[in-house]
Amino acid sequence: MADPKNRIEELTGLLEYHNHKYYVDDAPEISDFEFDALLRELEQLEAEHPELKLPNSPTERVGGEAVSSFPEVRHDVPMQSLQKAFTREEIYDFDRRVKEVIPNPEYVVEHKIDGLSVSIEYVNGELVRGSTRGDGEVGENVTENIKTIRSVPLRLKEPIPFLEVRGEVFMSEDRFLKLNAQLEETEQPLFANPRNAAAGSLRQLDPKIAAKRGLDIFVFNIQQIQGAEITNHIDGLRYLKKQGFKTILNDTVFKTIEDAYKEIERIGSERGELGFGIDGAVVKVNDFASRAVLGSTAKFPRWAIAYKYPAEKQTTVLRDIKIQVGRTGVLTPLAILDTVHIAGSNVSRATLHNIDYIRQKDIRIGDTVVIEKAGDIIPAVVEVLTEDRSGDEVEFNRPERCPECAAEVVREDGEAAYRCTGITCPAQRLRNIIHFVSRDAMDIDGLGASNVEKLAENGLIKDAADLYFLNYDKAVELPGFGKKWAENLKASLERSKTNPLYRLIFGLGIRHIGEKAAKVLAARYKTIDALIAADAEEMAELNDFGMIMAQSVTEFFRQPTNLEFMDRLRFAGVDCVDDSKDIEDKRFDGKVFVLTGTLEKYKRSEAGKIIESFGGKTSSSVSKNTDYVLAGAEAGSKLTKAQSLGVTVISEAEFEEMIR
């Protein structure tokens, strides 16, 4: 058997090498599977021999423990912002000011990445701290999140005494679109653009979340260095690249501002094809001694300037307005346009945001419109040229019913979005089926997201009710399925037919109705038929209910497609009823608990069920209405908030005394 210490060092070197080849050089030499196998071996060895784990091990990239807040970091070298230019003349004025001090300056021109500026520090070649720019003087310590960025070296190739670099953390356009799709799937707020997504991800208190976001970085400046002599910017970037950093290295030095401006124009012409966002180009004096002579103002260095590209706009004709139904049922209008070239790509579609936006802008089919592709990935209609109207333009009327399934379309008070209410809507079917079979809903084994997708793609199911009529002979022919899987699935579906009623109610995915609300409804109405016939005003009077939730339930059961779905469940033999008994011991009646940290004897879900069995309630957030916070090991921000509000904090031992 190999010596653990030697093997850990060998695996660390291998993983660092292959990580750099994949994320910096974009030239992978092994498969993802092989890389993961090496990483798993290292994780196992470190678990068995924690004393041998190296500082900044590659396993750190998966994310450490969550924190309650980020400590402040005061920057030794201020992270200044840049003076901005919007015209050619302003760039030439910058050159004139430089030449008043430096007779024959040389310039470099770089992409201005649209992201979040950070500082990263190394001591003896090891990453020791990463921080945000903040106000330029004071930022936030985000070291654990910086370590999750695969293109950041955890160790330098040469262990010099000290190095501080500045870079821009960003999110690629592909990663941004995937992230928003995932957020939409779970009904979370979407990010407006990649820059917001990068900033929000880097400032996650839980590094494990940041690790999943796929952040990237370009390093563009040496802030401080000990152990190497660098005299100009180009040599600095070459040195950083040798040390393992990802840079946009342009070896060209421009001796005239005319040539530098041509490079600004060249970069601008390619910005739609880069795969990541830029909002300008930066002109810098190359020589460090010249920079020192030029100095800085209180806000800006005098040796650099940022040229900001205008948002690219084009004029075209809007030929139609189509309605797209998202995976959460939201109806989004989409402009169908005469194709036009903008920001490096041909565009024939543009977002119209929502139906109110169409009304506010008075956008009509046949209008000549202005589209813009700025910070957002998807082009948007920003203006209507009403003076170009011929009189043949057609006003757009929002659909009363979903274009995918004909279910009623509703908009709740305070929301901009219109939503489809159909559980069998094709646009939402995968999300609805996955929710229906999930552990907290009908708890059907063998139907993870990928299996549901396979069954749907092969036409074996269209909605969750189809699962009870599944053609197993055809299903087992699909890759990854087999007779054993079919037997287990059949048994699980059979068990689900007599689930507690609240599981079925929750599994229907009725808007605003979570697991707790489903339990309240089940306890009150006992059968699904009684719930279908329930009155909204009566329902609104239930504990922890209100009219919005009640109307959501009654509207759901008013839709013919949803009632047909329920009929098919009945025909399949699904007969879920509420068999819960009235609570006799109500010692926690009216009391609200918040659970935080790790408990020794119980899972938090188990402790929550005990609390509910005594008539109490659990909540996910601490407020002045909280009665108790049950705090286990490594309790975080919820414990801090409880202490600041004066809420009673109890230990697991005290909780056991209360339930004895």
Residues annotated as catalytic (active site), given as ranges: 112
Measure the CA–CA gap between 191 and 200, rounded to whole angstroms.
9
- The encoded tokens of residue 201 equal 């991800």
Residue whose structure tokens are 């020794």: 600
Residue whose structure tokens are 């945001």: 353
Measure the CA–CA gap between 448 and 444, rounded to whole angstroms.
9
Measure the CA–CA gap between 326 and 430, rounded to whole angstroms.
11
Q: Report DSSP state, residue 73.
A: E
Distances (CA, A) of 56 to 9, 59, 179, 224, 559: 12, 8, 27, 21, 57
The burial of 205, by beta-carbon neighbours within 10 Å (0-12 exposed, 13-18 middle, 19 or more buried), is given as middle
CB 503 within 8 A of CB 443: yes
Could you tell me where the beta strands, DSSP code E, fall in 248-393?
278-285, 304-308, 312-325, 330-342, 345-351, 364-365, 368-373, 380-384
| C-alpha dihedral (91, 96, 100, 106), degrees to nearest 10 | 60
- The encoded tokens of residue 2 equal 């190999």
| Of 34, 427, 94, the residue nearest 264 (C-alpha) | 94
* Secondary structure (3-state) at 71: coil
